[in-house]
Chains A and B, each alone.
Chain A
Amino acid sequence: MQCFLCVFILQVTYKWLSYTLGVHVNQAKQMLYDYVERKRKESSGAQLHVTYLVAGNLVQNGYICHKVAVVREDKLEAMKSKLATIASVHVYSIQKALLKDSGPLYNTDYDIIKTNLQNCSKFSAIHCAAAVPRTLAEVSQAHTSAQIDSQTPNDMQVSTASSKPPAKGNTMSNFFGKAAMNKLKASSESEQAKEEREVTKPSVPAAEPKLLPTTTVEKPGKKTEPVKIQKKDRKSRAKRVDLSDNEEEKEAENLKKKRRRIKQPQSDSSDNEADGPASSISQEDRAPTPSPEPPPKAGLEPASTEVKASTGGKKRKRRRVLKSKTSLDDEGCMVTEKVFESESCTDSEEEFTKAKPASLHRQSTAPVKKDPKEDRRGPKKGAATASKANKQVSIMGFFQKK
């Protein structure tokens, strides 16, 4: 006890003592009292200030009120005389300095309770048989529907991540004829602006990410048809180099930020049919899911419709806004990127998407290595990219800009 007071200059409350020593609260109170008595008898130099808890009956406003008060030692007798019947008196706390105000007492108690939240009734004098924490099984049973909703978006995420490599490594795009490409070009240009890669975090703590997957998956649900065309178009447009570059940078990005693309669910429907073997191409698959074969489309569709239904209730609207992000990369270069950021109307930045043009204009400035971000030489290119991002990029641009 003595060492406590020496070390902790401020104060010792009965509750603090009880938790720290692991004793019953009543014993702690008695210990405090005992300490005070002994110290006072010794009459050593250090003066102790004590606060007491007094409880009893008091007549107030015509009612017999049961009053519980923490009082300083000098006011103890006055309070006791005010009470008609005294129910209890005990030591509340001991401190070295005189307390002007009972605020610090609350703070001490609050801190000790905070560190012992899980067993806050362990040392109290009353035990309640009914207060049993529900097991996880019971809790989850009570909320199965909520869990089902969260399961499907997680499945979606898994499937999208795994299907991402096959999409990127696809060489089938080169086999499309020009005529077909022209047809696709028209639709692709319209899709160009809307195209987005949505990135979500794989580690999913409870409630928050439920929203993310639902919104991201909502888009694939809506755009299954045009996206199919879009995906093929992307494959056709992108050169092999670019594709691999994209893949690298995406994966590098993944490494850095641990995010997964959910773009893939849109292409999943087409990829699954055509790109089985293509999945083996990607070596540097750093997505958490090891299986190259994406889960069946069937799993996707019901999930997306179910999620669509559930997102019907979601009130957040998402807008895509072109924003410029400036950051410092490894080499100390300032990097400015123009990205399409998807944000809700209340401006919460939960996801961001990389615009396709941003990645396309990476050029050959940086070697194809695992760069955390794209490098751009100065803002000029960024500006050029920005302006390009707003315009619809012609497909043929790729074939000219060797």
Chain B
Amino acid sequence: MFSEQAAPTAQGLLAPPSAEPSTFARAPVSTYTDCTEPFRLGQRSFSRQYAHIYATRLIQMRPLLEERAQHKWGSGIAMRKLCELQAGEKCCVVGTLFKSMQLQPSILREISEEHNLLPQPPRTKYIHQSDELILEDELQRIKLEGTIDVQKLVTGTILAIYGSEKDNGKFLVEDHCFADLPRQLPMRGPSTNHFVLLVSGLGLGSGSGESLLSMQLLVDVVTGQLGAEGEQSSAAQITRVILAGNLLSQSTQSRDTINKAKYLTKKTQAASVEAVKMLDEILLQLCTSVPVDVMPGEFDPTNYTLPQQPLHRCMLPLASTYSTLQLVTNPYQAEIDGVRFLGTSGQNISDIFKYSSMDDYMEILEWTLCVGHISPTAPDTLGCFPFYKSDPFIFTDCPHVYFCGNAPLFSSKLLKGRDGQQVLLVTVPDFSATQTACLINLCDLSCQPVSFSGFSADEDEGDMEIGH
């Protein structure tokens, strides 16, 4: 995208100074609607139990699933609740999945004295051969067996199963189905090339300066300082930058004050203070040139439970004087130039990664869209606010761009739904590790990775090996 437009004038700046350097105006955003209202929490009361969120999730998704089930297995099938099951009768049941995992960290087991257990060390995956699936509805639960992939599914998924109850009290599954993609509103995208840049995992405050030059190059490309004229004019078409979480590095989270003696930590500043100052400067440079949406991530100074609330503007005194800076929630939903964006900073996907056999972030991202829920594992293994009126993580309509941040690799896919929906799925890689960002063209829903690099002493041999 960028390169083709820019190629003709690529070498233009290898010349003596010209009289009139050209300046390009930033392509304005024609429409922007912030749809994060369901994710913003006003009064937060944690005195409720988490059972309500499961109850409301089931109530909201049941009609959808019943419709899908009838569509898939015929409208004549019997829809039963668990309490109405009769042995041997083929029927369809809708309920919430629960996966009982042996290796799942349990706080009760850890602190229990009779077991005398040491806390389990963190693992990358907690799946085990002996895991079992159990279906729960409003009143009862039943164990599942049969043609259902135990390793792949995770707790909290709402699904419809088709089969019959056996004499041993277990349900033999013959088939199952999910909510599938919801309806999608038509996309009224821009007619000319407008780009949105997605970056995540800036990782400031990590103490290692490897990605700092790449970050500066990124800012310079977006603000139009870097590149020849062709590239600058292409960069002027970037209408928005979305920072998808983990602006601070994990190392800023060290909590010395808890572990060390007070006399050692008395006058030390938290590592995140310096990192936030650096973030403020970077955001200031970006905000003077392009609208920026800042989403918090796992290591950022905001609340831990989903939905994460926006960072407070007092932390960014320099940048927050500009109206182009928008501090938004995680998950983030917005309509930019007629294209609906929905995305998270990656905690939902990485949590499913831990408790499922799926390895590819893109696969998991697609799976959450098919299941109809942004993060089914919340609140079981992922912290979540105890909602009771409605579950805001259920997809109400299908977005045009669905992304997740802090993935290990970049990948993008255009998913076509059964009813003609078209979704661009993007996994945004961690910038501090990969120095790669994503550029999305709103006109045709295409995505291109953009990577930045400097040079270092040990690159001499490496260059030769990256062959053609």
Interface residues of A (CB under 8 A from B): 15, 18, 24-27, 29-31, 33-34, 37, 51, 53, 55-57, 60-61, 63-72, 75, 78, 82, 84-91, 100-103, 105-106, 109-110, 113-114, 117, 119-121, 123-134, 139, 207, 346-347
Q: For A125, what are the chain B residues with a Cβ–Cβ distance below 8 Å?
A: 21-24, 224-225, 229, 232, 236
Main secondary structure of the interface of A (DSSP, over half): mixed
- A70 and B217: CB pair below 8 A? yes
Is B142 part of the binding interface, using a Cβ–Cβ cutoff of 8 Å? no
Please determine whether B14 and A86 come into contact, CB atoms closer than 8 angstroms. Answer: no
Alpha-carbon gap, A119 to B25, bound state (A) = 17
Tell me the B residues contacting A by CB distance below 8 Å: 1-4, 6-7, 9-11, 13-18, 21-26, 28-29, 209, 212-213, 216-217, 220-221, 223-232, 234-236, 257, 262, 266, 281, 284-285, 287-291, 314, 318, 321-324, 409-410, 412, 436, 439, 448-457, 463, 466, 468
Q: How far is the CB of B229 from chain A (nearest CB, A)?
A: 7
Q: Give 11 A-B contacts (CB < 8 Å), ordered by A residue.
A: A25-B224, A29-B13, A61-B410, A70-B217, A121-B223, A124-B225, A124-B289, A125-B225, A126-B235, A128-B324, A129-B28
Closest to A142 in B: B313
A88-B10, A90-B13 known; A117 and B284 CB under 8 Å? Answer: yes
CB distance from B390 to the nearest CB of A (A): 28
Instruction: Verify A87–B452 contact, CB threshold 8 A.
Output: no
Q: Which residues of B contact A89 (CB under 8 A)?
A: 10-11, 13-14, 228
- With A131-B288, A347-B262 already in contact, the answer to whether A126 and B236 are too (CB < 8 A) is yes
- How near does chain B come to A154, taking the closest CB pair, in angstroms? 18
> Are A106's CB and B455's CB within 8 A?
no
On chain B, the residues within 8 Å of A124 by CB distance are: 223-225, 289
Tell me which residues across on chain B come within 8 A of A71, comparing CB atoms.
455
Contact A131:B289 (CB < 8 A) given known A69-B454, A105-B213? yes
Set of chain B residues within 8 Å of A127, measured between Cβ atoms: 23-26, 289
Give Cα A43–Cα B220 distance, bound, in whole angstroms. 33
**Residues of the B chain whose Cβ atoms lie less than 8 Å from the Cβ of A347:** 262, 266
- Please give, as numbers and ranges, the residues of chain A lying within 8 Å of B454 by CB-CB distance: 69-70, 101-103, 105-106
> Which chain B residues lie closer than 8 Å to A103 at the CB level?
209, 213, 454
User: Cβ of B11 and Cβ of A34 under 8 Å apart?
Assistant: no
Cβ-closest chain A residue relative to B13: A90
B225 touches A65 (CB 8 A): no
CB neighbours (8 Å) of A113 from chain B are 281, 285
A109-B216, A117-B281 given; A131·B21 CB < 8 A: no
User: B227 touching A88 by the CB < 8 A rule?
Assistant: yes
- A131 CB contacts on chain B under 8 angstroms: 287-291, 322-324
New A-B contacts (16) at CB < 8 Å, excluding given A24-B23, A25-B224, A117-B284: A26-B21, A27-B21, A55-B226, A82-B468, A85-B4, A87-B231, A88-B13, A90-B13, A102-B213, A113-B285, A117-B285, A119-B288, A123-B225, A126-B26, A128-B26, A130-B26
Are A134 and B450 in touch, CB under 8 angstroms? no
Q: Closest CB-CB distance, B361 to chain A, in whole Å? A: 14
B25 near A129 (CB under 8 angstroms)?
Answer: yes
| A346–B257 CA distance with the chains assembled, in angstroms | 9
- For the complex formed, measure the closest distance between the CB of A350 and the CB atoms of chain B, giving whole angstroms: 13
Inter-chain contacts of B26 with A (CB < 8 A): 126-130
Give min CB distance, A119 to chain B, whole Å. Answer: 8
- Contacts A130-B324, A132-B322: A25 and B225 contacting too (C-beta < 8 A)? yes
**Least distance between B324 CB and chain A CB atoms (Å):** 5
Question: A128 touching B288 by the CB < 8 A rule?
Answer: yes
Cβ of B401 to closest chain A Cβ, rounded Å: 17
Ordered nearest first, which 4 A-B pairs have the shortest CB separation?
A126-B224, A102-B454, A88-B228, A90-B13
Given A127-B25, A139-B321: A106 and B456 interface contact (C-beta under 8 Å): no
- Are B456 and A68 in contact, with the CB atoms below 8 A? no
Contacting residues, chain B, for A15 (C-beta < 8 A): 220, 225
Partner of B463, one of A33, A75, A101, A105: A75
B3 close to A126 (CB less than 8 A): no
Are the CB atoms of B453 and A70 closer together than 8 Å? Answer: yes
B410 touches A63 (CB 8 A): yes
- Complex alpha-carbon distance, A177 and B2, angstroms: 91
Whether A106 contacts B281 by the Cβ 8 Å rule is: no
Q: Which of A101, A132, A207 has most B Cβ within 10 Å?
A: A101
For B15, the chain A residues whose CB sits under 8 A away are 30, 33-34
Closest residue of B by beta carbon distance from A15: B225
On chain A, the residues within 8 Å of B7 by CB distance are 56, 85-87
In contact, A121 and B14 (Cβ under 8 angstroms): no
